[in-house]
Structure 1
Amino acid sequence: MRTYFMTGFPGFLATKLIEQLARIPNQIACFHLLHVPSERHTATKRRDDLLKRTSLRPDQLLLHEGDITIDQLALSLETRRMLHQDVTHIFHLAALYDLSTAYDPAFRINVIGTANVTRFAHSCRALERYVYFSTAYVSGLRSGTVLEDELQANSFKNAYEETKYLAEVRFRNEIGTLPYTIIRPGIVVGHSKTGETPKWDGVYFVLNAMRLLQSVAPLPYPGRANALVNLVPYDYVIEATAYLSHAPVGINKTYHLTDPFPHGARAIFEMLHVAYYGRYPRGILPFRLVSTALTPVVAKRLQMQRQTLDYFIHPVQYDTTHAIRDLRDTGIICPDLSETMPRIVAYYQTHAEY
């Protein structure tokens, strides 16, 4: 029986991962879910929702107030002793994901937090796997093709990328002989079949702009740059993670859970535009004008982060050799964005809070 310890609850990916793992309930002893004290109400509600949507019992979803930035995760000695004896799988998803975050809080949560979770993992006597959620963007400003085995970068677009890079470096230095799996997702978007998402960041900032500029549509293409942009539906990330974190083939591997056939920035803008307005973009607006016009005041009005634009002009390709090979014959594949984009936009149009 598997006993899971998970950080990042009640976050969306952590919740969806629990739902995925709960599909095989006879293999589950318990989920121990770490949350910060300020998330107590949300964590309780999310746990109750999981009890309604899965076959898990209340005694299989246990909440623990703690903090990854504090030594011993701020857990009591009694709780730690119990976890050190029982936990077989650790999923470390907690991180500060905001692209506009300052360096210090990002370092504290992403780097120090990961080091504390790794120290905790070394005390788990029954541990079978430690699954660490990194990001494909630990590659920083590297261009060209980035392999799954590589961890090399010396400059970054933002503090999020830099601290996630430093966190993975530290993870690799401190993991020792523990069995691990590193998951590096691309830019996560909604469900490939339903478009469902609770997070309106990343590419959704572009949709925010389209909504507020619909009176002047059709819009021009924002520049001629056509860098590949790696958008990946969350269901692919969750299903692949659930499999690779338990399969023997996934031990001590790093996986790019990214789109193996990503689309260029112009194609993605066109998909968004057609799905939202029902017509194609018209004309081209030089990217430098777009960047200059996106002042803090304008960005706030458009509900858009300036940092998002960087991911539409940076030329990088993420190799997925390990992921494709090890997921072969499982039926788990990354759907093509051209098929999922209409559903993503439709969900945004009916669910986003304006």
Structure 2
Amino acid sequence: MKTLLLTGATGFLGGAVLEKLLNENQEANYLFLVRAENAQQGLDRIRMNMEKFNVDAGLFSKITIENILLGDLSEPEDFLSDIRINKVTHVINCAAVASFGNNPLIWKVNVEGTLAFAERMAQVEGLKRFLHVGTAMSCAPEPGSLVAESAEFEDTAEHLVEYTRSKSTIEQLMRQRCPQLPLVIARPSIVVGHTRLGCQPSSSIFWVFSMALMLRQFMCSLQDNIDVIPVDYCADAMVMLLNRETLDNDVYHISAGEECSVSFADIDRAMAVALEKAPVGDAYAQVNYDVLVKMRRQLKDIFGPCNERLMLKAMRLYGSFAMLNVRFSNDKILKLGMPKPPRFTDYIGNCVQSTRGLSIQQQMVVDFK
């Protein structure tokens, strides 16, 4: 039986992975890296996250304080000496500071702490797979492109945010410093919502689409495409990559690809159906960021109480990503037998329903922690 060390189980993607493992009763000895004062608090944090995913309490009851590994990737030396690590056969590393803000822990956790963790796991004799969650955006893609699944990065690539730069850097460092690590990189594209639960587990990024359509103007065109997948599809692919005895590649995009990506016009129409109102359509205007800055005093009238500075920062960052108009090739994961992903527009109604009554300011907190 495998012994699985899962990091990030209190988060969005890590929670979705654990949801799948529990619902499918997959046989494994579990170890969960959790930030907490004690094991009981760590267990409670995971339980509260599983409640967001509607996991049956009976299924969760098999998880006890014995499964908790107390620790924090910002201070890895505090947990890397735990002898239970020596029995680990598989790792899914979902933990990261996934913030588009200027969180000072981004580099400390995503690069320094993750590298120390990888170096420790490379010393475990029975380790068969170290599945690390990167991001498809770590390659700093060219606008308008279909991005290939490659382990190569350009050293001069310019990143829009520190988060994607950190993800690019740690991939390269793990390959250089841990050549014996059985490393597989999963690079999700833009993860938004859950096919059944909408934004109940997390409102991450969904608010960007609502914000742009409420403004009736943004930095991208309605004809631009965006590569979005639901978190449960991403978790399904992660577990597939975990369980395969052999893999032909060490880098996999988990993405909508060229076929299942959607345009912003598609999103506009789907959200209009969910909200039972007319789409923005021809009333939408593509504008540059300076136009949005001039609207600063109108933001509270449009969105309600909000931090104007943070809203403008969000518009600049996410607008820059939206303008890329990129898709990420998903050929490798499909060849493994993974079904095509649902389109964002297939489940966007659940995202709308689960965010009713929440302001844009409330929804965006998760992305600027």
Provide TM-score, normalisation by structure 1: 0.84
Structure 1 pair 285/55, CA: closer, same or farther in 2 (3 Å)? closer
Shift in Å, 1:75:
1.7
Aligned partner of 1:338 in structure 2 is 345
Q: State the Cα deviation string for residues 284-308 of structure 1 (Å, max 9, x = none).
A: 3241155434659947259742312
Q: Distance in 1 between matches of 2:142 and 2:218?
A: 25
Structure 1 pair 18/336, CA: closer, same or farther in 2 (3 Å)? same
Q: Distance in 2 between matches of 1:166 and 1:97?
A: 15
Shift in Å, 1:227:
2.8
Aligned partner of 1:216 in structure 2 is none
Aligned partner of 1:146 in structure 2 is 147
SS of residue in 1 equivalent to 2:109 = helix
Q: Distance in 2 between matches of 1:25 and 1:316?
A: 37
Unpaired segments of 5 or more residues in structure 2? 51-55, 300-305, 364-369
Residue 248 of structure 1, aligned match among 236, 240, 245 = 245
Aligned partner of 2:71 in structure 1 is 66
SS of residue in 2 equivalent to 1:27 = coil
- Which range moved further: 170-179 or 115-124? 170-179
Aligned partner of 2:36 in structure 1 is 37
Aligned residues: 339
How large is the Cα RMSD of the aligned pairs? 3.1
Aligned partner of 1:22 in structure 2 is 22
SS of residue in 1 equivalent to 2:265 = helix
SS of residue in 2 equivalent to 1:243 = helix
Mapped pair 1:89 → 2:68: no
Residue 318 of structure 2, aligned match among 305, 308, 327 = 308
Shift in Å, 1:130:
0.5
Q: Are the equivalent residues in 2 in contact too, given 1:134–1:183 (CA < 8 A)?
A: yes
Aligned partner of 1:155 in structure 2 is 158
Residue 168 of structure 1, aligned match among 164, 167, 171 = 171
Aligned partner of 2:202 in structure 1 is 199
Q: State the Cα deviation string for residues 152-211 of structure 1 (Å, max 9, x = none).
A: 241111111111111111122233133222111111111113314332231323325667
Structure 1 pair 65/221, CA: closer, same or farther in 2 (3 Å)? closer
Q: Which amino acid aligns with 2:100?
A: L
Aligned partner of 1:11 in structure 2 is 11
Q: Distance in 2 between matches of 1:349 and 1:90?
A: 37
Q: State the Cα deviation string for residues 66-103 of structure 1 (Å, max 9, x = none).
A: 1223353x1274x2x2321x11111111111111225x
Q: Are the equivalent residues in 1 in contact too, given 2:193–2:206 (CA < 8 A)?
A: no
Structure 1 pair 129/295, CA: closer, same or farther in 2 (3 Å)? farther
Aligned partner of 2:53 in structure 1 is none
> Which of structures 1 and 2 has the larger relative contact order (alpha carbons within 8 angstroms, sep 6+)?
2
Q: Which amino acid aligns with 2:237?
A: A
Structure 1 pair 109/293, CA: closer, same or farther in 2 (3 Å)? farther
Q: State the Cα deviation string for residues 253-272 of structure 1 (Å, max 9, x = none).
A: 21111112211233324433
1:160-309 map, 5 Å: 160-207=163-210, 219=216, 224=221, 226-250=223-247, 252-260=249-257, 261-276=260-275, 278-281=277-280, 282-288=282-288, 290-293=291-294, 298=299, 300-301=307-308, 304=311, 305-306=314-315, 307-309=317-319
Aligned partner of 1:75 in structure 2 is 79
Shift in Å, 1:63:
1.4
Unpaired segments of 5 or more residues in structure 1? 214-218
Aligned partner of 1:325 in structure 2 is 335
Q: Distance in 1 between matches of 2:226 and 2:66?
A: 37
Shift in Å, 1:225:
5.9
Q: Distance in 1 between matches of 2:80 and 2:111?
A: 22
Structure 1 pair 342/98, CA: closer, same or farther in 2 (3 Å)? same
Q: Are the equivalent residues in 1 in contact too, given 2:2–2:88 (CA < 8 A)?
A: yes
Q: Are the equivalent residues in 2 in contact too, given 1:35–1:65 (CA < 8 A)?
A: yes
Shift in Å, 1:131:
0.6
Q: Distance in 1 between matches of 2:328 and 2:344?
A: 16
SS of residue in 2 equivalent to 1:43 = helix
Q: Which amino acid aligns with 1:246?
A: N
Provide TM-score, normalisation by structure 2: 0.80
SS of residue in 2 equivalent to 1:349 = coil
Shift in Å, 1:252:
4.7
Shift in Å, 1:314:
0.9
Q: Which amino acid aligns with 1:67?
A: D
Q: Are the equivalent residues in 1 in contact too, given 2:96–2:109 (CA < 8 A)?
A: yes
Structure 1 pair 38/334, CA: closer, same or farther in 2 (3 Å)? farther
Q: Are the equivalent residues in 2 in contact too, given 1:222–1:290 (CA < 8 A)?
A: no
Q: Which amino acid aligns with 2:244?
A: A
Q: Are the equivalent residues in 2 in contact too, given 1:10–1:39 (CA < 8 A)?
A: no
